[in-house]
Amino acid sequence: MKIQRYKRDGSYSYALGAALTYELLEHAPQSAVKVYVSSATERTPAIVDLLSKCRSLGVPTETNDKAFHILSPKGNCFLICEFRKQEQHIRPGPHVVLVNPSDAGNLGTILRTAAGFGLTDIAVVRPAVDLYDPRTIRASMGAAFHVTVEYFDRIEGYIERFPDNELYAFMLGSSVPIHSVEIASPYSLVFGNEATGLPDEYAQFCRSVVIPHSKEIDSLNLPIAASIAMYEFTKSVWGGGA
């Protein structure tokens, strides 16, 4: 198989680096296709462990410097795992719903926080950035392999599948601060695009809420707002305490 730069419409993607390869083999071994090793890769104990994990999982390894030139031209990566993309289906329960997210780093950061707060089912409404973009995977620090992400063409399709979820739409114009709302179960935390937020009509089928802040800034950035919301809605689960 010829090694190609990542393509959004292709069937494969790449976990760049030993840490992401480890996460992939640990959490989604069935999707691993092959592990590329650079001739510059030092056989540290961690690398030796990883390669032995490949053997025991039946994932072939290949020394191939060309793969690194093509996939990681900056040269700061010594292990690459090629893996098969998989269609995913979220389960009933609390969800995070991202409407038109456009930045790979932001999506990855949100997935990492979501995994941290146990919100492992995430809906993404298109058009949207690609879950399998290697930049998303990297920003997630591997959390992309712990969570389930399902894409929907329209929010209506999501609502039809999960009619029992109470939708909380994060909108700057709302007057309801998130820490004062009653948390329904199951709930969905709904966030809009980085630049444009959610369309006004979301207020018609969602409970609009806001993270109040001063007028010194126009808005919190998307991963920050989403993370604060996930924290506030789940803290009784993780917190103990008050």
Residues that bind a copy of itself (CB under 8 A): 109, 112-113, 115-118, 120, 141, 143, 146, 176-177, 179-180, 211-214, 216-218, 220-221, 223-224, 227-228, 231-232, 235, 238-242
Alpha-carbon span 68 to 46, nearest angstrom:
19
Give whichever of 144 and 198 is closer to a copy of itself, judged by the CB atom.
144
* Residue 37 or 209 having the CB closest to a copy of itself: 209
Q: What is the rounded CA–CA span in Å between residue 193 and residue 179?
A: 22
Find where tokens 């820490």 sit. 179
Q: Which helix (H) or strand (E) segment is 34 a member of?
A: strand 32-37
CB closer to a copy of itself, 1 vs 242: 242
Closest CB to a copy of itself among 120 and 136?
120
Sign of CA dihedral 118, 146, 226, 163: negative
DSSP state string for 96-113: EEEES---HHHHHHHHHH
As measured in angstroms, the least distance from the Cβ of 66 to a copy of itself is 28
- What are the residues whose beta carbons fall under 8 Å from the beta carbon of 141, sequence distance 6 or more? 19, 20, 23, 108, 112
For the bound state, the minimum distance from the C-beta of residue 192 to a copy of itself, rounded and expressed in Å, comes to 17
> H or E stretch including 56?
helix 45-57
Instruction: Specify the residue, 42 or 216, whose C-beta has the smaller distance to a copy of itself.
Output: 216
In angstroms, give the least distance from the CB of 44 to a copy of itself. 18
Query: Least distance to a copy of itself from the beta carbon of 181, Å?
Result: 8
Minimum distance from CB of 219 to a copy of itself (Å)?
Answer: 8
